Amino acid sequence: MNCKDIKEALHAFCDGEASSLEKKIIEEHLLYCASCKEEVAKIKASLSLLKAQEPYSAPQGFTKETMLLIKEKQEYREARDEEGIPVDFVLSSMFFFARGLWRGVSFLKYLPHPAYSFRRRRLYLSW
Amino acid sequence: MTDNELIEGFLWGDEELFEKIIDNHKDYVYNLCYSFVKNREDARDISQQVFVKIYTGLRDFDTARPFRPWLRRVVVNTCIDFFRERGDLEDLSLDDVHEAVGAVNPSVLKGLVAKDVVDKVLASMPVQYRMALSLRHLEEMSYSEIAESLDIPIGTVKTLIYRAREMFIKRYEGITEEL
């Protein structure tokens, strides 16, 4: 296996996430490849930089602000529930329902006439 | 009181216990959000959204299970929604790793300590890379846990982490050479 193929697996190797086969291949490769050894050193240095990040704390007054936000949302929800369904919403949905129903009914005229289909069925049976 | 006792108490109707839940986890949630978005204002807004979601969603939480992984999932999903709304979650190509080193303006970094430089470099990287690195290093999650958390195959996690670290190393080296 050459260095190019091994490069991606080196990161998993440094994270302890390489499979046992990958681990064996990489360990053997590192015995004679100086550039991959250097790559591993670079990755390990980056790991220590990334792990050393200091945690950030939530800003002051965060809990109070969040509780206020939750109360606001709750009050809004309750007010909406008390109001019930808005009239304009009911009217518009009734309009669209009626229009859909009308279109559905008017589509029936494109269907074959029942008498015609009956004749066809008879014809088919006589065969 | 443990997290799950607090949650049970809250679910039984003691609303004040939710304040304690926020107090116990606000720093964790804020820090994780900040590591994803790298902006204090956005991190605060998203953290608040997370707690609003939790307030209504705790009824679905199984109190026999640990709270932190569930909370982390809510944070990750809320951040993903935030990035989707902003259009930041686009597909990345391999060329991204090899793009120009100076994506961070070095003049901004004068007088900063190594920790702040790392922060600025991470802030200059694509969202997916930042999320993968944060989950790996901040949360110390395994590749399979990251895959589950981001809902992507484990092979994609390996590639994401590889590309993210390559980009990080290149940008960090480029900046420290210039400084």
pLDDT digits (tens, 9 = 90+) for B10-35: 999 888 899 999 999 999 999 999 99
Q: Residue type at B30?
A: Y
Task: List, in order, residues 6 or more apart from A22 with CB less than 8 Å away.
Answer: A9, A12, A13
Q: Which residue of A has its CA nearest to B119?
A: A53
B30 with A67: Cβ contact below 8 A? no
Task: List, in order, residues 6 or more apart from B38 with CB less than 8 Å away.
Answer: B119, B122, B123, B130
Distance from CA of A8 to the nearest CA of B (A): 6
B19 with A67: Cβ contact below 8 A? yes
Using only C-alpha atoms, what is the Rg of chain B? 18
Q: Which residue of A has its CA nearest to B26?
A: A58
d(C-alpha A6, C-alpha A22), whole Å: 9
d(C-alpha B17, C-alpha A62), whole Å: 16
Nearest alpha carbon to residue B82 among B121, B115, B130: B130
Q: Which residue of A has its CA nearest to B160?
A: A8
A10 and A39 Cβ atoms separated by less than 8 Å:
yes
> Residue A57: which pLDDT band, with cuts at 50, 70 and 90?
very high
* pLDDT per position as a tens digit, B53-105: 999 999 889 989 999 999 999 999 999 999 988 887 765 444 444 444 445 55
Q: Tally Cβ neighbours within 10 Å of residue A119.
A: 11
Nearest alpha carbon to residue A22 among A32, A7, A34, A33: A7
Chain B, 102 to 141: residues with Cβ < 8 Å from chain A are 114-115, 118-119, 133, 136-138
Which residue in the set A7, A8, A50 is minimally distant from B133, CB to CB? Answer: A50
Q: Residue type at B177?
A: E
Q: Is A56 on the interface with B (CB under 8 A)?
A: yes
Is it the case that residue A65 has pLDDT exceeding 50? yes
A12 with B158: Cβ contact below 8 A? yes
ipTM for the predicted complex: 0.79
pLDDT of residue A43: 92
Give CA angle at B121 (B178, B175), nearest 5°: 5
* pLDDT per position as a tens digit, A72-115: 988 888 887 777 777 888 899 999 999 888 887 777 767 666 65
d(C-alpha A11, C-alpha B33), whole Å: 25
Q: Is B170 on the interface with A (CB under 8 A)?
A: no
Mean pLDDT for chain A overall: 84
Task: List, in order, residues 6 or more apart from A110 with CB less than 8 Å away.
Answer: none
pTM above 0.90, yes or no: no
d(C-alpha B71, C-alpha B167), whole Å: 29
> Residue B106: which pLDDT band, with cuts at 50, 70 and 90?
low
The helix/strand/coil state of A18 is coil
